[in-house]
Each structure stands twice: as structure tokens, then as C-alpha cells.
Structure 1
Amino acid sequence: MAFTLENKAICKTNNLTVVIMILSAPEHTEHRRAIRETWANSSRSSSMPEVRTIFVIGRLKHWTTQSLIEKEFADYGDILQGNFEDNYKNLSLNSLYGYQWLNQNCANAEFVIKSDDDIVINFNKLFHAINNRLMFVNRTREVACFRVRSTVHRERHSKYFVGEHVFMNVDYTPAYCEGKFVLMTMDLIPDLLESAFLTPLFWLEDIYWYGLVMSSVPDITYTRIIWGEKIEPKAEKAIECLQKRDNCKFFITWPRNVAEIRKIYTLMEKDNSTYTETDFINATIEQEIFLVS
């Protein structure tokens, strides 16, 4: 695979714990800056694991935007630009290029987090759960995500429209991890790539990678990250809880803008509540507990 921009040395560090692969819109310069300065910045806290972040984008049509991306890459060295057109229908390609690159250059990491650029993660809470074996007990072939099934959208006006030739004669998709946050052990990446090689590309990225592709990878143990408990999708509710310091159980939320990325993270830094063993369910997920959305 060809890359326009890459920094092959970014993961060359001792004791690398996490590599974060973020699918980012090229124009979201300030989102990336905020992420670098807040939740993905391992130097902000002595309790943070060693982290490296890679923002994955595709090829751009306009030279002005491309020149800004190249300047950003020169400043930070964390842009991974693949040689494919950057658009919404190519998000599955973003991940393909990203995972292929991570497999070749970041295999020394313990964990991979895949996310989008509109998310905030409380790493202190997350790694308290991991280090205390509340999740990722074996540290091998494990995934943590919000795993669902969803309606197959046949309405042509829908952003997620799928033609009748796909998922024929069914109302719901296969089970998949919601793609805003997927945490997995690094040892799964080669198997995901092998499965992707055998799975025809499909443009809905989370259904493709964390449904069709991941379902063909054997012996995965899932930790359920439950929507409304560990994930608070509404930023205003997250802020309200954190301001009250009301033992907020979530460690992920979706800010609506760059200012909220910074505000939520500042509040998260003051949140000292931790998890107990009853807060997580470590089990291979069976069909009957899939949620339909």
C-alpha cells in the first residue's frame, strides 16, 4: 500500500502500551490539536500509559488543504495519509490502510484503540479497569466495544442507504462494534487483516470491520462497553455529571465541538472515581444479548 505521508518511527519507543488510530476529517485541524493536547497526551499524567496517536486520512483533491496537512505533519509527525480518495464512502479503506500500517510499524504496542476525532476518553478510568483485570483479563485476543445490530436502511434518502443486493432478505445487520470506540489487543490485527483480505469491501466501516471481518476471526473474548453506562453519548449530560462529581461511571463521551473536547477532558482529570469488578462483564458475547438499534 502506498502512503503520501507517514512517520515510520512514531512507535519506536520502549514500553509502548497503546496506539490510537483515529479516522479524522482532513479539515478537522483543531479537533486533532485538541486531542493531542488533552486525552491522547500521555505526558499530562504520570499514571497515563505510554501512548502514540495516528490520525488516518486519504488523498485530498485541493492543493491548499493538502499543503496544510503537510505542514501539520511536519509539526507533529502523526498524520498517516494513504493514497486513496478521502470521502465518507471510503472510511473502510481508511481503516484498511491504518491497520496495515500499524501491523508493520507498531506491533510493539499492547493495545490498539480505533476511534473518530469527535470523542473524549478518560484514560485514567480505562486503564484502572485494564490494570485491575476488570477487563482484558488474558491480554490476548480480546476486544472491548459497544456491540449491536442495527436496522438495514433501505430508504434512498438515508445517509446509510444500502441497496437490496446487500444483506438480502434481512431486516437487521450482522452484529458489529459501534466504530467510534473499539479497543483490542494488538495480536488481533494480523488476523483482522487476513479476514479482510477474504471479505469483499463494504463502505459502512463499522459494520464491515467490526462485524463482517471480525466475525471471521476465531477465539475473541469481548468486554461489553454498555451505552448509557460506560458511554455517555450526550455531551451535556456528561458535563453535568462531571461538574457535580456524581460518581460518573462513563469513560467515553462525544463532544459536539472542539471547545467541549477541552472542557470535558479538564473535568475528567478531576474525576477520581474508579471501577469495581461488578462494573464490567467479561464474556464472549452470544447472539441473544445483541442490542437492536
Structure 2
Amino acid sequence: MRFTKFRWKLFGSLAASIFLWTVLSSKGNESELTVEYDFPKSVCNDSENNVYVHHFYLHNDPNNKNHSYSLRAHNPFHLQNPGLCFDDHALDFLVLINTEPNHFLRRKVIRMTWGDVNLPGYQKYGNFRILFLVGKSPSKKIQKAVEKEAVKHGDILQGRFSEAPNNLPQKALLGLRWIAEYCLKAKMIMRIEDTVILNMFEILREYKSRYSCTKNFMMCKFVKQRIKFMDHENLKKMNLSPTITHCKSKAVMMTRDMILSIYHAAPHMTPYWSDEVYVYGMLPAQIQEKTLKSFKQFEENSDRAIDCYETNQNNCGLVAIDTQTRSHHNILWSHIKHYFA
């Protein structure tokens, strides 16, 4: 009899525990489901460890639902190739290259050197695509030539605005929008000027595995600058100080979630005339969780870079160099190809 009573007490305790666990679990699940952050989610697949990392963009603010910034146009792209990133099951890097309509030779040199995505040496490290970002030319002759170039190579993204200094913030956001709509399969994005040469062998080998799963990651050369011609009251409303730290936009490396975080922060921020300060300073400042790193492997003096490669060879360590002349570009590419291909 005592054993029977004990058994019923034990059964009752177990049943109560199971019921309580079920209630608590359902409440937890319900809480998770009702908190809708309304932000796109990126899944980072670490192929070595089979770990899937989920990223949220922006502030995780459930009340912030205005993330449909459209550059005031339903279709702001004049020239584009929506299928650029669709050929590969996975894309390691997209290199977004800021250029101008009449920089035909610079684009040609890039395609023939480090930007030749079909170079045999790249394939053992990964894959990438290049995309030239450009505004419209006021010259009909140049504009027509750009359109022919786009048809031939399929690597040009052109907005419906003119190529002009006051349109640079809009141009930068156009590139981010295109990535958000057509190239989110790229794990990482490099934004560079068309004077910069990249050692894509080292970038693919080292940086993809090191940073692609880092939440809201951005690496560049940082500078401090005063925000000019903006009312201090507006700055306070945006939680910004008059002096802001921003990237030099000649070479910026970002994860795809950082691209979306910057892009979706734009509708909530008063526009600013400098694309470097606005897109790579003011907008990232609105992102609460981020990882910022100084790009020490970026050299702005190509003379020093040439000396580095000639002295240290494959131990130079530089992966991005701003070239002052075409001959410097050719010398650097010769060294990069010799030591790393």
C-alpha cells in the first residue's frame, strides 16, 4: 500500500513537472514569435565547423519598420546585370568599384589583371565578382560607349543620376541597394576606388574565413572629421557628435549584414553631402552591434607598397594598394601574381 501511494505521488509530481515545463516552453515560444523584428536575416554558413550564425540587421527595434528606402525611385538602375551573382552556388566576395563614365582604361586594366575572375590561381581559394559603379555621363558619346561596355562585359551598374560630386552619397547607396536586391549571396563585399589594386589571392585565402561570420563587420582606414553645414540640434536628434569617425572609402571591407544595416539605416538619417562621412560614418554610427577594424593591410602610397613587395616578397602582407600611376599598378600586379598565383 505504501509503495502504491509513493508510486502515485511520484507519478503526480512527474505529471505536474511535465505540465509546468510545457506551459513555460509554450510561453517562451510565444514570446519569441510575437517579437517580430521585421528585418531581413542572413545565414552565415561556416563550412569548416558546420555552424550556422543568424544575423539581425539594425537596432533590433520592433517599432522601427521603415526600412524600404528606395532612392526616391521604383527602379533607380539605368544599367545593371541582375544575374551577376547568380551563376555560383556560393559567392565569397563581391568587389564594388567606384568609377566614372570616362574611366574606360582603368576598368580595362582591372579586368585584365587582378579583376580577371577566371584566373586559374583564384579557384583554389574561392571566387568573386567585380561590379563597376558609375553615374550617367552628360556626354552622349561617352554614355553610349558605357552602354556598349555594359553589354559586352555585364559588370557595370549605372544609376539614373549624373556623375557629379553632389550625387556621391546617392551613388554609394545605389550600390548598397543593388547588393541588397541582387547579391546577398556574397559573403563579403569590398568597396574600392578604381585606382586601387587588390591581392585577391590573399583576400580570398585569409579574410573570408576570418571575418565572414563576424556580425556587422567593417574594416577600413578610419579618420575623424567635423560634420560641417549641419545644425547641432539635428546632430543631437541623431545621437551624433559634431566630430565623427568615418572610413576612407578608397578601400572598405564589409560583411553582407553590414551592407544591409547601413542601407536600412538611411531612411532614418538626414542626408549629408559627403559620401564618406554619411555612408561610412553617420549611418554605421546608428548600428548598435558592430565590429569595426582598422585596415592595416591597405597602403595608400604605392611607392611604399612596391618597396614592401620587393623587400618582403610574399610576406609583405599588403592586400589593397592605392596606385598613383598605371606603371605602379603594373609593377604591383607583377609582384602579386609572381608570389601568390
TM-score norm. by structure 2 comes to: 0.70
1:264 aligned to 323, 328, 332, which one? 332
Given the alignment, which residue of 11, 15, 19 partners 2:94? 19
Which of these residues, 247, 255, 261, is aligned with residue 323 of structure 2? 255
Higher helix share: 2
Considering only aligned residues, what root-mean-square deviation do their CA atoms show, in Å?
2.4
Contact preservation (8 Å) 1:145, 1:224: yes
> C-alpha separation between the residues in 2 aligned to 1:194 and 1:110?
18
1:82 aligns with 2:159: yes
- Is 2:317 aligned against 1:242? no
Residues 30-76 of structure 1: CA distance to partner in whole angstroms, max 9, x if unpaired? 11111122222232223342111111111221101101101111110
**Greater Rg over alpha carbons, structure:** 2
SS in 2 for 1:179: coil
**CA shift digits 1:56-114 (9 cap, x unpaired):** 11122110110110111111011111011111221111111111111100011111111
Matched, 1:218 2:284: no
Q: Shift in Å at residue 205 of structure 1?
A: 1.0
Q: Aligned partner of 1:18: which letter?
A: F
Match of residue 253, structure 2, among 183, 204, 211: 183
Where does residue 142 of structure 1 map in the other structure?
217
1:278 is aligned to none
Q: CA deviation at 1:175?
A: 0.8
Tell me if structure 2 keeps the 8 A contact 1:141–1:219. Answer: yes
Task: State the partner residue of 1:109.
Answer: 186
The amino acid that maps onto 1:9 is: G
Q: Is the Cα–Cα contact under 8 Å of residues 140 and 187 in structure 1 kept in the other structure? A: yes
3-state SS, counterpart of residue 184 of structure 1: strand
TM-score scaled by length of structure 1: 0.80
Question: 1:159-207 CA deviation, whole Å, 9 max, x = no partner?
Answer: xxx4475798x99730111111111111222221111111122121111
Figure out how many residues of one structure are paired with residues of the other and give that number. Answer: 258
Kindly indicate whether the alpha-carbon contact (under 8 Å) linking 2:218 and 2:253 is maintained by their aligned counterparts in 1.
yes
Q: For 1:37-116, list aligned pairs within 5 A.
A: 37-44=112-119, 45=121, 46-116=123-193
Q: Distance in 1 between matches of 2:190 and 2:140?
A: 31
Distance 2:230 2:90 in 1: 48
> Do the aligned residues in 2 keep the contact of 1:4 with 1:82 (CA within 8 Å)?
yes
- Structure 1 CA distance for aligned equivalents of residues 241 and 329 of structure 2: 36
Q: Which has the higher contact order (CA 8 A, sep 6+)?
A: 1
Query: Aligned AA for 2:304?
Result: K
Q: Contact between 1:143 and 1:223, CA under 8 Å: does it hold in 2?
A: yes
Unaligned runs of 5+ in 2: 1-74
Tell me the amino acid that sits aligned with residue 244 of structure 1: T
- Secondary structure (helix, strand or coil) at the match of 2:254 reads strand
Cross-structure match for 1:287: none
Structure 1: runs of 5 or more not aligned: 153-161, 273-293
User: Identical aligned pairs, as a percentage?
Assistant: 23
| Structure 2 counterpart of 1:123 | 200
Q: 1:42 to 1:70 in 2, by over 3 A?
A: same
